[in-house]
Amino acid sequence: MSDTGIGIAPDKLSQLFQAFNQLDKSTTRRFGGTGLGLTISLRLAEMMGGRIDVQSTQGEGSTFTLTLPVLVPEDQQEDSERAYDLTGIRILAVDDNATNREIISRQLAGWGCETVLASSGSDALELLQGTVGSGKSFDAILTDMQMPGMNGYELAGKIHSIPELKDIPMILATSIAASAENQKAIEAGFTAWLTKPVKAYQMRETIAKVCGKIITQTEKRMVDEEFRMDNTHVLLAEDNTTNQKVAIAILSKIGCRIDAVGNGREALEALTRIDYDLVLMDVQMPEMGGLEATRLIRSDTQKIINPQIPIVAMTAGAMESDREECIAAGMNGYISKPVKPVDLRRVVADFALNRSKDENWMKMDVLTEMVGDDAELQQDILESFTGDIRQYSATISSAHKNEKLEVIAQAAHALKSASGSVGAIRLQELALSVEMASKNGSLSSTAVMELLDGSAGTDAAIQNLLKGVN
């Protein structure tokens, strides 16, 4: 979309998509507007996997380009295997974490790709330069963002400086899910980006797109009309009888068994008698609210069968501060009222899909979703991950004694990345907290001890899971 308006100064382009921002404050008075239009437009585009680009000359006008990936209709439907046929695609995968490289390699091999692995940006450049003039170039490059020595953006810059390599599509894998980061990836020359932990269908679809493969079907979402959670035992703490009936009706349709209580005190009593799979906890209830009940469940003062049972808040509060209060009390997540069927199905899938005590540390469904149900492959990855846990834990422990915050941050980041890839969600969260605290100088001994305890708990859970795999 082009106009012949006043145009935009080059030094103002970076501010264009910021919320509540007008590049010329007088524009608001002359033409009106809140400064939200472009922000909303960009967000909508990103939610559909697209982007908005802008070119402008001051005094002449501007051109805005909206790019959206869309399905190409065909007269004859193809099955999903043919729709994502990646056979023969040659991919260079760059990641400093051995566990991540193993997962990526197995995934790509399963789709018929020819994969070359690099553990650093410098190794990747050496491999790429070796292909120049050889007739064996890569069809795509998949690189991690945060790597020691040379990060993903720096690698992209060096690749683009080599004429023979600059046209290879590049995919960025990053832990940062923000529109500013997406814009930065575009400016760095990336064709696409994925937010970690990367799910198999997302990687497959993205590679198909950047390599020019026609996609005729989207991957089936887990939360759909056929989704079942038979015999999952849910405790519903909700004082409003209408809300109880609605939640019970939704959960019953997917096979759950539900016990309902009217306040936090009754929830505590029920949890001393029955080992539930999940608690749905209203925040505001008479006698004892959900926050107080959750704090008591997590403490050592009650005779709860499973103090680490997943607890999901149901709250009418929609502010970020409401969510933070729930998490601080010990809840695992929250959904807003009025509850929707898709939200309830999602939390059951997220928090109750695996019900053994070891699943408090490991969500095997995450690993299965990423690499499939190949037991041998899962065993290889879990064994490799335990090596990562022990290595990074030892590094963090030693660095903490010597007050080396930078070393702690690097090791915590690596542990966070590996944990998210295999489904160790609690360990991932603990590692993230230590990483951020190390970077801003607020790291406490308690946080380090919690991470080391979490590492030991995850390691023990994996050993039990490996016995089951065997």
CATH number for the domain including 61? 3.30.565.10
> CA-to-CA distance for 333 and 330, rounded, in angstroms?
9
Residue 226 lies in a domain: no
pLDDT over threshold 90, residue 308: no
Residue 215 lies in a domain: no
User: Is 181 buried (19+), middle (13-18) or exposed (0-12) by CB count in 10 A?
Assistant: middle
- Taking each continuous run of H as one helix and of E as one strand, the counts in the chain are 18, 13
Residue 423 lies in a domain: yes
Residue 378 lies in a domain: yes
Of residues 221 and 103, the one with the higher pLDDT is 103
pLDDT over threshold 60, residue 82: no
> CA-to-CA distance for 354 and 34, rounded, in angstroms?
47
- In the chain, the N- to C-terminal Cα span, in Å, equals 59
The answer to whether the beta carbons of residues 291 and 317 sit under 8 Å apart is no
pLDDT over threshold 50, residue 250: yes
CA 342 to each of CA 13, 350, 361, 369: distance values in angstroms, whole numbers, following the listed order? 39, 12, 25, 19
What pLDDT digit, counting tens, does each position of 161-218 carry? 888 888 899 999 887 755 556 667 777 888 888 887 787 878 888 888 888 654 333 3
The answer to whether the beta carbons of residues 247 and 238 sit under 8 Å apart is yes
Structural domain harbouring 18: 2-67
Which element (helix H / strand E) includes 2?
A: strand 2-3
Reduced DSSP (H G I as helix, E B as strand, rest coil) percent helix, strand, coil of the chain, to 5: 50, 15, 35
Which element (helix H / strand E) includes 430?
A: helix 425-440
Q: What is the pLDDT of residue 265?
A: 93
Q: Kindly state whether residues 34 and 58 are assigned to the same domain.
A: yes
Domain boundary among 175, 210, 245: 210
What pLDDT digit, counting tens, does each position of 121-151 carry? 999 999 999 888 877 789 899 999 989 999 9
Q: Kindly state whether residues 34 and 56 are assigned to the same domain.
A: yes
Which backbone phi and psi does 195 adopt, to 5 degrees?
-95, 130
Residue 222 lies in a domain: no
Q: What is the pLDDT of residue 397?
A: 87
> CA-to-CA distance for 203 and 59, rounded, in angstroms?
43
Long-range contacts of 393-397 (CB under 8 A, 24+ apart): 393/451, 393/452, 393/455, 393/456, 396/434, 396/448, 396/451, 396/452, 397/448, 397/452
The answer to whether the beta carbons of residues 288 and 264 sit under 8 Å apart is yes
Q: Kindly state whether residues 191 and 304 are assigned to the same domain.
A: no
CB neighbours of 111 closer than 8 A, spacing ≥ 6? Answer: 84, 86, 87, 89, 204, 207
Residue 228 lies in a domain: no
At residue 264 the predicted structure's pLDDT band, cuts being 50, 70 and 90, is: very high
| Residue that has been written with the tokens 């079942």 in this structure | 228
Q: Kindly state whether residues 254 and 192 are assigned to the same domain.
A: no
Domain boundary among 142, 175, 210: 210
Domain boundary among 41, 67, 93: 67
Q: Kindly state whether residues 99 and 197 are assigned to the same domain.
A: yes
> CA-to-CA distance for 168 and 148, rounded, in angstroms?
23
Q: Kindly state whether residues 115 and 183 are assigned to the same domain.
A: yes
Q: What is the pLDDT of residue 396?
A: 92
What pLDDT digit, counting tens, does each position of 152-162 carry? 999 999 998 88
Average pLDDT, the chain: 80
Residue 273 lies in a domain: yes
Q: What is the pLDDT of residue 225?
A: 43
Q: What is the pLDDT of residue 29?
A: 42
Q: What is the pLDDT of residue 182?
A: 64
Q: Kindly state whether residues 202 and 95 are assigned to the same domain.
A: yes
The answer to whether the beta carbons of residues 206 and 172 sit under 8 Å apart is no
pLDDT over threshold 50, residue 27: no
Q: Kindly state whether residues 313 and 340 are assigned to the same domain.
A: yes
pLDDT over threshold 90, residue 92: yes
Residue 422 lies in a domain: yes
The answer to whether the beta carbons of residues 211 and 86 sit under 8 Å apart is yes
**pTM recorded for the entire structure:** 0.39
Structural domains counted in the chain:
4
Q: Kindly state whether residues 329 and 368 are assigned to the same domain.
A: no
CATH number for the domain including 294? 3.40.50.2300
Which backbone phi and psi does 65 adopt, to 5 degrees?
-120, 120
Residues above pLDDT 70, as percent of the chain? 82
Q: What is the pLDDT of residue 310?
A: 85
Q: Kindly state whether residues 335 and 368 are assigned to the same domain.
A: no
The answer to whether the beta carbons of residues 260 and 268 sit under 8 Å apart is no
3-state secondary structure of 173: strand
Q: Kindly state whether residues 297 and 204 are assigned to the same domain.
A: no
Q: Kindly state whether residues 23 and 44 are assigned to the same domain.
A: yes
CB neighbours of 346 closer than 8 A, spacing ≥ 6? Answer: 223
What pLDDT digit, counting tens, does each position of 317-362 carry? 656 566 778 878 888 777 877 787 877 877 777 666 544 444 557 7
